C-alpha cells in the first residue's frame, strides 16, 4: 500500500511490536508526529520534559523489559540532546532505536536551521546508524535497525529521517518480524578446553555481567555453578541476574564491590567470566587482577575476548549454547576447602558492617526499600554514592530489576529510566537518587506526574556530591572543590509539590519507613527527601589503580 | 592510546560500497586510539564492495583489537591480515622536482635504477612516476631529495595475497 514516510515509520514500529515510544516533537518531525496522532491508541507516545529524559526512558524501558526501547526527537538540538542517552545505552549494551528528523535533503549541508549531522555525531556511540535517502527503503531500514539493536551484543541504533522522506509517498507492505541474526555456535574444541580447565581447578569463581541477563542464561549459570561447586560474583550490570540471597552469590565485585566477592575473585584459581567485559571498575588494577587464576571468558562479542583481561580460553557467540555444552562437558565437583574459605570471607565481610542505631543511614534506607518492594519492583538509580549503596544493599529476586547506568556512569539517568521501567513493566518503580544526580534531570517529574507513572523517588540527600567528596576526602586533602550543595537552597518537598507530586521529608528511620510504605501503596509520584550525613562513605573501596591488598573496608577518622 | 610501536602490518578490508562507510571505519580508529600509517580505498572486482588497505604498526594486542573491532562494524564484509611473506604490496608515488639542466644526468640515473618515468616535462619542473614496494619508494625519495623536490604524493599501500584464492573465501575466525 502507498503511505507517506511518516506513516511508514509508525506502521513499521507497530509491525515490530512497539507499543510505547518516548519523545519530543519539533519542526522536522511534525509529519511523524501527525502520523503518531493518526495512529491513535495503536502507538502510545510519552512526551517528556527534555529529549535526554526521553532517551533515558527508552533505555530504562528496554533494561526493565528486554524489549527494544524507542525514542523520537527532532533535528538539531533535539537530536544532540539524545547523545548522552544513546552513549549510556551503548556502554551498557542496551537495545534502543533512536529516530530523529532532519532538514529536507535539499537543505542538507547548508547549515540550515536546526540542521545537524547526527549520524556523524553518533557514529562512535551507536552500534550502527542510518541516514535515510529513499522512502521505499525506509521500512526495511527500520526493521534492520531493530534487528541490529537486539542481535548478539545489543546496542543502540539511530535512524535519521529527513523531512522530505517523511512527506514522500512510498510502498509499504507489512512483514513478519525477523528473528535476531544467528549467533556463532561455540566449537566443541573450545568447550572441551574450557571443561578440562574447569575440571583441573579447585577454586572456581563465576563472574557475570549484563550479558547473562541479556541472554536470559541466569538459570544456566546457576546450574553450572552447582555442578562445579563455584561461587558467583558480578559486575554492576550483572546485578539482579542472580537472586541476592542465593547461597552461591557473593554480590558485586570491584571498586565498591562486596568484600567477600572481591577477595574471592582474587583468591580463585579459575575465573569464568560470562557476558562481561572486565571493566576497570570491576577489576581494579588489571595487572594485579586474579593473578593466580586462569580465565575462561564467554561473551556474545568476540572483540571482548582478551580486550581488557587476557583469556586462557575465549568462547564467543551464543552464551546459552556455550553454557549448555559446558555444563554437559564438565565433571561434577565438590570443593570443601574453597567453600570453607568463602564462609570465612562472608563472616569477615559481616564484621565490617557498622550502622549506628537511630540515625537515618544509607543502609537503613536500602533495608526499608527491601522490606516494601516486591520481587518484581524495578529499582532504578542515578550515579554516585547512592548507586553503590543500592548495588550493595538492595536485594533482588528477579532479573532486569536493577536499572542503572554502569559503563557511562550518567548522572541524571535515573528519573527518565525509572519512568521508562515503570511504563514498560506496569510495576510501581523505585528510583534511588542523590541530590546531585536528581538536580540534573528533575524536570522529568512533570512527565511522571502527567502520565500517572507510579514512581517513588528516594532522594539520598547529603547536600554534597558525595562520591566526589569521598575522593576529595581520601585523595585530595579534604579540598571540597565545588562539591558542597548545601549552598543550594532547593526545597525538594516544595519542588515535588510544585510539579504536582507528593513531597515528604525524612530525617529519621521511622519517618522514612512511614513515608516509603505510604508512597509504595499509592500511585502518586512521591519524592522522599532523606537527609543523611555528608561524610557517609561507600565501603569497601578498592582505590583507583589499586589491587585487592589496598582495599579500604572501614572508615578511619576523616 | 593503543600501543603503536611494534611491527608494521597490512590489513585488507572489504566493505559495502556505500555512503559513509569509510567514515565508520576511520571513526573506529580514532575511538580505539589506533594510529594509521597509510590507508587506501577503491572499488573491487564486485561493484557492491570497496576494498580498504590499511597499514599500521603495533604489537599483537593492537593487531588483534584492530581486526576484531573492524569485524564488528556492520558494513564490513571481510577483514584479513596480510602477512608480509604472503602478500604483494605496491605503492605509487608522483614526485615533482626542479628542472635543472645541470642535474639531468643524475635524474636520469636515478630514474633508471628505480624504473621510474617522467610523465610531465616543463621548463620549470619534471614530474616523475614510480611504482614499487614502500621501501623502494622511500629509497627513491631519498635519492632524488638533493635534486630539489617541489612536492610529492604517495598513494599508500595496496596489497593482494599471493596465490589463487580471494580473501573473501577464507573462513571467519571466531
B71 with A133: Cβ contact below 8 A: no
Residue of A87, A90, A119, A123 to mutate for B, most B C-beta atoms under 10 A: A123
B174 with A133: Cβ contact below 8 A: no
CB A91 within 8 Å of CB A408: yes
Q: What is the pLDDT of residue A544?
A: 83
Is A51 known to be catalytic?
A: yes
Is A219 known to be catalytic?
A: no
A128 with B30: Cβ contact below 8 A: no
Q: How far apart are CA A385 and CA A473, in angstroms?
A: 14
Enumerate the domain spans of chain B.
7-82, 88-158
Q: How far apart are CA A246 and CA A192, in angstroms?
A: 28
B174 with A302: Cβ contact below 8 A: yes
Q: Is A270 helix (H, G, I), strand (E, B) or coil?
A: strand
Provide long-range contacts, Cβ within 8 A and 24+ apart, for A187-190: A188/A325, A190/A313, A190/A314, A190/A315
Among the listed residues A50, A179, A27, A38, the one whose alpha carbon sits nearest the alpha carbon of residue A112? A27
Window A:173-192, CB contacts with B under 8 Å: 184
B31 with A119: Cβ contact below 8 A: no
- Cα A311 to chain centroid, rounded: 25
Q: What is the pLDDT of residue B8?
A: 85
- Residue ranges, chain B, pLDDT below 70: 1-6, 173-174
In A336-406 the beta strands, taken as DSSP E runs, fall at 379-381, 402-403
For B71-91, what is each residue's pLDDT tens digit? Answer: 999 999 999 999 888 899 999
The residue of chain B nearest to residue A123, with distances taken between CA atoms, is: B24
Is A163 known to be catalytic?
A: yes
Catalytic choice (A467, A492, A520, A536): A467
DSSP alpha helices (H): ranges in A200-305? 210-214, 218-228, 259-267, 280-283
The residue of chain A nearest to residue B30, with distances taken between CA atoms, is: A124
Q: In what order do the strands lie in the sheet with B7-16?
A: B36-43, B49-58, B7-16, B76-82
Average pLDDT for chain B: 90
| Closest chain B C-alpha to A345 CA, distance in angstroms | 36
B71 with A303: Cβ contact below 8 A: yes
Q: What is the pLDDT of residue B174?
A: 57
Q: What is the pLDDT of residue B1?
A: 39
Residue position matching grid coordinates 522522599: A528
Q: What is the pLDDT of residue B2?
A: 41
- C-alpha cell belonging to residue A516: 516509603
CB proximity B23 to A under 8 Å: yes
| Closest chain B C-alpha to A230 CA, distance in angstroms | 27
CB A234 within 8 Å of CB A251: yes
Q: What is the pLDDT of residue A263?
A: 95
Q: Domains along chain A?
A: 2-171 (3.40.50.970), 188-350 (3.40.50.1220), 353-550 (3.40.50.970)
User: Which member of B27, B65, B174 has the closest CB to residue A124?
Assistant: B27
Partners of A244 in beta bridges: none
- Cα A348 to chain centroid, rounded: 30
A120 with B23: Cβ contact below 8 A: yes
Which chain B residues are closer than 8 Å to A127 by Cβ?
74
Residues 6 or more apart from B109 whose CB is under 8 A from it?
none
Q: How far apart are CA A360 and CA A513, in angstroms?
A: 10
Catalytic choice (A38, A113, A171, A517): A113
CB proximity A433 to B under 8 Å: no
3-state helix, strand, coil in chain B (%, to 5): 35, 40, 25
Q: What is the pLDDT of residue A557?
A: 54
Two domains, one topology: B7-82 and B88-158: yes
Q: Does the global pTM surpass 0.90?
A: yes
B64 with A120: Cβ contact below 8 A: no
What CATH architecture is B7-82? 2-Layer Sandwich (3.30)
Q: How far apart are CA B68 and CA A55, in angstroms?
A: 29
Partners of A98 in beta bridges: A71, A158
CB proximity A128 to B under 8 Å: yes
Residues 6 or more apart from A184 whose CB is under 8 A from it?
A302, A316, A317, A318, B174
B72 with A120: Cβ contact below 8 A: no
CB proximity B20 to A under 8 Å: yes
Q: What is the pLDDT of residue A284?
A: 86
How does strand B49-58 pair with strand B36-43? antiparallel
The residue of chain B nearest to residue A151, with distances taken between CA atoms, is: B74
CB proximity A426 to B under 8 Å: no
CB proximity A85 to B under 8 Å: no
Partners of A556 in beta bridges: none
My answer on whether omega of the bond before A82 falls inside 30° of 0, hence cis, is no
Per-residue pLDDT of chain A (558 residues; tens, 9 = 90+): 999 999 999 999 999 999 999 999 999 999 999 999 999 999 999 999 999 999 999 999 999 999 999 999 999 999 999 999 999 999 999 999 999 999 999 999 999 999 999 999 999 999 999 999 999 999 999 999 999 999 999 999 999 999 999 999 999 999 999 999 999 999 999 999 999 999 999 999 999 999 999 999 999 999 999 999 999 999 999 999 999 999 999 999 999 999 999 999 999 999 999 999 999 999 988 888 999 999 999 999 999 999 999 999 999 999 999 999 999 999 999 999 999 999 999 999 999 888 999 999 999 999 999 999 999 999 999 999 999 999 999 999 999 999 999 999 999 999 999 999 999 999 999 999 999 999 999 999 999 999 999 999 999 999 999 999 999 999 999 999 999 999 999 999 999 999 999 999 999 999 999 999 999 999 999 999 999 999 999 999 998 888 888 899 888 754
Among the listed residues A20, A83, A90, the one whose alpha carbon sits nearest the alpha carbon of residue A51? A83
DSSP alpha helices (H): ranges in A22-157? 30-39, 51-65, 77-80, 83-91, 118-121, 138-150
CB A124 within 8 Å of CB B27: yes
B28 with A124: Cβ contact below 8 A: yes
Partners of B13 in beta bridges: B52, B79
Q: What is the pLDDT of residue B7?
A: 81
User: Which member of B19, B24, B65 has the closest CB to residue A307?
Assistant: B65
Partners of A208 in beta bridges: A234, A274
How does strand A502-506 pair with strand A526-531? parallel
Please check whether the domain covering B88-158 is classified as CATH 3.40.50.2000: no
Query: Using the 8-state DSSP alphabet, how is residue A369 labeled?
Result: H
The H or E element spanning position A6 is helix A5-15
Q: What is the pLDDT of residue B35?
A: 85
User: Which member of B20, B31, B72 has the closest CB to residue A124?
Assistant: B31
Among the listed residues A248, A254, A245, the one whose alpha carbon sits nearest the alpha carbon of residue A277? A254
CB A72 within 8 Å of CB A21: yes
Amino acid at each position: 500500500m502507498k503511505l507517506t514516510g511518516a506513516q511508514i515509520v509508525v506502521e513499521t514500529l507497530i509491525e515490530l511490536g512497539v507499543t510505547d515510544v518516548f519523545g519530543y516533537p519539533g519542526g522536522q518531525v511534525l509529519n511523524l508526529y501527525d502520523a503518531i496522532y493518526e495512529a491513535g491508541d495503536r502507538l502510545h507516545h510519552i512526551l517528556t520534559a527534555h529529549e535526554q529524559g526521553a532517551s533515558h526512558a527508552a533505555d530504562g524501558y528496554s533494561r526493565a523489559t528486554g524489549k527494544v526501547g524507542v525514542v523520537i526527537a527532532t533535528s538539531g538540538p533535539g537530536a544532540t540532546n539524545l547523545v548522552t542517552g544513546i552513549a549510556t545505552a551503548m556502554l551498557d549494551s542496551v537495545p534502543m532505536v533512536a529516530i530523529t528528523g532532519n532538514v529536507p535533503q535539499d537543505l542538507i549541508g547548508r547549515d540550515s536551521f536546526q540542521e545537524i549531522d547526527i549520524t556523524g555525531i553518533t557514529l562512535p556511540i551507536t552500534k550502527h546508524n542510518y541516514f535515510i535517502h529513499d522512502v521505499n527503503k525506509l521500512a526495511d531500514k527500520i526493521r534492520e535497525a531493530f534487528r541490529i539493536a537486539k542481535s548478539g551484543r545489543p546496542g543502540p541504533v539511530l535512524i535519521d529521517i529527513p523531512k522530505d522522506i517523511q512527506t514522500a509517498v512510498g510502498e509499504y507492505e507489512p512483514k513478519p518480524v525477523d528473528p535476531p541474526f544467528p549467533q556463532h555456535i561455540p566449537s566443541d574444541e573450545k568447550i572441551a578446553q574450557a571443561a578440562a580447565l574447569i575440571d583441573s581447578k579447585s577454586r572456581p569463581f563465576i563472574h557475570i555481567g549484563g550479558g547473562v541477563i541479556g541472554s536470559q542464561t541466569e538459570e544456566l549459570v546457576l546450574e553450572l555453578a552447582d555442578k562445579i561447586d563455584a561461587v558467583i560474583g558480578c559486575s554492576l550490570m550483572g546485578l539482579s541476574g542472580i537472586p541476592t540471597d542465593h547461597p552461591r552469590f557473593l554480590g558485586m565485585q570491584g571498586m565498591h564491590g562486596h568484600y567477600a566477592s572481591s577477595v574471592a575473585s582474587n583468591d580463585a584459581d579459575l575465573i569464568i567470566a560470562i557476558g562481561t567485559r572486565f571493566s576497570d571498575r570491576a577489576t581494579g588494577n588489571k595487572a594485579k587482577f586474579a593473578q593466580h587464576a586462569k580465565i575462561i571468558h564467554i561473551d556474545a562479542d568476540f572483540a571482548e575476548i582478551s580486550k581488557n583481561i587476557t583469556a586462557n580460553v575465549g568462547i564467543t557467540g551464543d552464551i546459552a549454547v556455550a553454557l549448555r555444552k559446558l555444563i554437559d562437558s564438565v565433571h561434577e565437583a565438590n570443593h570443601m576447602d574453597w567453600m570453607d574459605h568463602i564462609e570465612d570471607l562472608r563472616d569477615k565481610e559481616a564484621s565490617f558492617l557498622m550502622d549506628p542505631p537511630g540515625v537515618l543511614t544509607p543502609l537503613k534506607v536500602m533495608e526499608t526499600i527491601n522490606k516494601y518492594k516486591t520481587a518484581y519492583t524495578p529499582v532504578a538509580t542515578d550515579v554516585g554514592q547512592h548507586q553503590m549503596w543500592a548495588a550493595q544493599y538492595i536485594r533482588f529476586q528477579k532479573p532486569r530489576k536493577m536499572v542503572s547506568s554502569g559503563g557511562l556512569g550518567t548522572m541524571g539517568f535515573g528519573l527518565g529510566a525509572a519512568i521508562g521501567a515503570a511504563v514498560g513493566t506496569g510495576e510501581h518503580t523505585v528510583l534511588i537518587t542523590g541530590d546531585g544526580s536528581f538536580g540534573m534531570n528533575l524536570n522529568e517529574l512533570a512527565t511522571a506526574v502527567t502520565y500517572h507513572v507510579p514512581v517513588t523517588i528516594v532522594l539520598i540527600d547529603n547536600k554534597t556530591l558525595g562520591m566526589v567528596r569521598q575522593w576529595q576526602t581520601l585523595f585530595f586533602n579534604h579540598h571540597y572543590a565545588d562539591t558542597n550543595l548545601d549552598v543550594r537552597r532547593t526545597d525538594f518537598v516544595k519542588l515535588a509539590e510544585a510539579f504536582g507530586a507528593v513531597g515528604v521529608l525524612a530525617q529519621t528511620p521511622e519517618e522514612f519507613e512511614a513515608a516509603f510504605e505510604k508512597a509504595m501503596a499509592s500511585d502518586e509520584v512521591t519524592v522522599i527527601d532523606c537527609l543523611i550525613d555528608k561524610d557517609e562513605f561507600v565501603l569497601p573501596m578498592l582505590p583507583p589503580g589499586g589491587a585487592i591488598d589496598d582495599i579500604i573496608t572501614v572508615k578511619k577518622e576523616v | 592510546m593503543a600501543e603503536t610501536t611494534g611491527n608494521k602490518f597490512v590489513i585488507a578490508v572489504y566493505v559495502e560500497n556505500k555512503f559513509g562507510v569509510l567514515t565508520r571505519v576511520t571513526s573506529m580508529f580514532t575511538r580505539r586510539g589506533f594510529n594509521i600509517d597509510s590507508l587506501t580505498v577503491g572499488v573491487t572486482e564486485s561493484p557492491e564492495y570497496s576494498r580498504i588497505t590499511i597499514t599500521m604498526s603495533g604489537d599483537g594486542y593492537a593487531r588483534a583489537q584492530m581486526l576484531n573491532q573492524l569485524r564488528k562494524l556492520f558494513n564490513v564484509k571481510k577483514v584479513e591480515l596480510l602477512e608480509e611473506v604472503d602478500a604483494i604490496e605496491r605503492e605509487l608515488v608522483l614526485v615533482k622536482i626542479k628542472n635543472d639542466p645541470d642535474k639531468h644526468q643524475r635524474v636520469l640515473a636515478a630514474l633508471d635504477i628505480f624504473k621510474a618515468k617522467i610523465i610531465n616535462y616543463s621548463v620549470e619542473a619534471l614530474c616523475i612516476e614510480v611504482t614499487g614496494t614502500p621501501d623502494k619508494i622511500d629509497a627513491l625519495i631519498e635519492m632524488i631529495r638533493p635534486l630539489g623536490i617541489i612536492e610529492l604524493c604517495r598513494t599508500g599501500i595496496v596489497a593482494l595475497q599471493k596465490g589463487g584464492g580471494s580473501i573473501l573465501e577464507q573462513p571467519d575466525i571466531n
